[in-house]
Amino acid sequence: MDLADAQVLRQHLIDPEICIRCNTCEETCPVKAITHDARNYVVDPAKCKACLACIPPCPTGAIDNWRTVLRAEAYSVEEQLSWDALPGEKALGLGTATAPAEPPVAVEPAVSAIASSPLPPWSASHPYVNLYTHKNPAIATVVGNYRVTDSASESDTHHIVLDFGATPFPVLEGQSIGILPPGEDGFGRPHHARQYSIASPRDGERPGYNNISLTVKRVTVDHQGRPVRGVCSNYLCDLKRGDTVRVIGPFGSTFLMPNHTPSHLLMICTGTGSAPMRAMTERRRRRRVKGEGGKLMLFFGARTPQELPYFGPLMNLPKDFIDINLAFSRVPGQPKRYVQDLMRERAPAVAELLRDDNTYIYVCGLRGMETGVLAALRDIASAHGLAWEPLLARLRAEGRLHLETY
């Protein structure tokens, strides 16, 4: 065995039992070391530089697993893809662990990975995370399940209320949970958990109750438009009152709202990405009488008004409470408009918020919107005399820019 083979490697692995396949790690990895198939997310030992960029954004902690192995015996991508559970620590061969494990190498994160802040707002409440796992899920009861998109529209999006009874399940706006759908996947393993943003504020969908709500779109086609039956979304949308659901989490310790006054929220979302925006808006609405908060500005994109979740309730919010801007992309006879187009149209108001150190920005929805929204923010800032790069750096460092796309 030559020296390179004898080198000890601190191999980075992802726990397939805990991973909720949210793709955050793959998006974050600056050297493209993380890949996945229909079964698992895995780390290529030949590419991973152990820069740790993927560790903080992982909602479950599945990402933070390490095994000491001889480099020559590192678990291959193919091996990891076949796992149902992580292997234990291997005993290293006698006399072989002579070369030291290589120190982690600092690598500059990719541009998309650096956008979202790794920190919460300074005044955010402290979140509880990972209280319940797939081995120890909380059991919630469905107390409401109704459609929030027009019945004539193609998009079947549901508002689902889950009650935890006497089971503690403390959450904050911006956090998410995992749902364990019943049954097995194509490999005969229990289905992995699916992640959903919480759509209700911390004091409950119904104030003072131990319940939360979700915004779930029934998945009937994949990203390429091919017919597919989404395992968990169909399960959830078909639930009846009184049914029970296995829940894990809560997840998320950065995409959280500020609590101080004044703090302004600039919220940009598409489709079911509206869930955390609903939670934060409702929190602010309930606290408004106490004088808490600052300005709220919302950009919300959907194909048509009929497909926009919560269209009716949103329109009923007072104009002096929230500045609502709706972008529709498929209204017959009207030009296609995305949230970023509308942001440019409202550039002076957006710039005013960007200029204010108390503004917190939240982006949630389709992955594709991320680039367009960041470009719009950059252009608006530059056109209004704000240097974008230093502003972006400050937004990140101060926990004031949060992106969650899927």
309 touches ligand A2P (CB under 6 A): no
Query: Tokens representing 330?
Result: 């498929």
The Cα-based distances of 101 to 24, 31, 34, 66, 88 in angstroms read 27, 20, 21, 12, 18
190 touches ligand A2P (CB under 6 A): no
Cβ partners under 8 Å of residue 101, min gap 6: 7, 8, 9, 10, 68
Assess contact for 64 and 36: CB atoms under 8 A: no
Closest Cα partner for 403 from 255, 216, 277, 256? 255
Torsion of CA 20, 273, 271, 275, to 10 degrees: 100
87 touches ligand A2P (CB under 6 A): no
Give the separation between CA 159 and CA 218, rounded to whole angstroms.
Answer: 11
Query: Using CB under 6 A, which of 270, 274, 325, 405 touches ligand A2P?
Result: 270
Would you give the distance in Å from CA 196 to the centre of its chain?
A: 8
- Give the interface size with ligand A2P as a residue count (CB under 6 A): 15
Instruction: Indicate the residue among 302 and 354 with the shorter CB distance to ligand A2P.
Output: 302
218 touches ligand A2P (CB under 6 A): no
Query: Using CB under 6 A, which of 30, 61, 144, 372 touches ligand A2P?
Result: 372
Instruction: Indicate the residue among 183 and 332 with the shorter CB distance to ligand A2P.
Output: 332
Angle at the Cα of 294 (from 288 to 159), degrees rounded to 5? 60
Choices 112-120, 129-137, 202-210, 332-340 (CB under 6 A): range interacting with ligand A2P: 332-340
Choices 137-145, 194-202, 258-266, 335-343 (CB under 6 A): range interacting with ligand A2P: 335-343
Query: Using CB under 6 A, which of 50, 138, 214, 302 touches ligand A2P?
Result: 302
Query: Using CB under 6 A, which of 299, 338, 360, 362 touches ligand A2P?
Result: 338
149 touches ligand A2P (CB under 6 A): no
Considering the complex, what minimum distance in angstroms separates the CB of residue 389 from ligand A2P? 23
179 touches ligand A2P (CB under 6 A): no
Choices 3-11, 24-32, 69-77, 300-308 (CB under 6 A): range interacting with ligand A2P: 300-308
Query: Tokens representing 156?
Result: 């079947």
Query: Using CB under 6 A, which of 57, 271, 293, 309 touches ligand A2P?
Result: 271
Instruction: Indicate the residue among 210 and 272 with the shorter CB distance to ligand A2P.
Output: 272
310 touches ligand A2P (CB under 6 A): no
Assess contact for 46 and 40: CB atoms under 8 A: no
Give the separation between CA 168 and CA 24, rounded to whole angstroms.
Answer: 27
Which amino acid is residue 288, in one-letter code? R
Considering the complex, what minimum distance in angstroms separates the CB of residue 236 from ligand A2P? 16
Query: Using CB under 6 A, which of 68, 259, 329, 358 touches ligand A2P?
Result: 329
The Cα-based distances of 340 to 267, 298, 299, 363 in angstroms read 12, 12, 8, 11
Question: How would you class 281 by CB atoms within 10 Å of its CB: exposed for 0-12, middle for 13-18, buried for 19 or more?
Answer: buried
Query: Using CB under 6 A, which of 343, 354, 369, 403 touches ligand A2P?
Result: 369
Instruction: Indicate the residue among 193 and 373 with the shorter CB distance to ligand A2P.
Output: 373
| Phi, psi dihedral angles at 70 (to 5 degrees) | -75, 140
301 touches ligand A2P (CB under 6 A): yes
Considering the complex, what minimum distance in angstroms separates the CB of residue 56 from ligand A2P? 26
| Phi, psi dihedral angles at 371 (to 5 degrees) | -65, -45
115 touches ligand A2P (CB under 6 A): no
The Cα-based distances of 300 to 154, 268, 275, 328 in angstroms read 18, 6, 11, 9
- By rule CB under 6 A, what string of x and - marks binding of each residue 36-55 to ligand A2P? --------------------
148 touches ligand A2P (CB under 6 A): no
Which residues lie near ligand A2P (CB under 6 A)?
270-271, 301-303, 307, 329-330, 338-340, 366, 368-369, 372
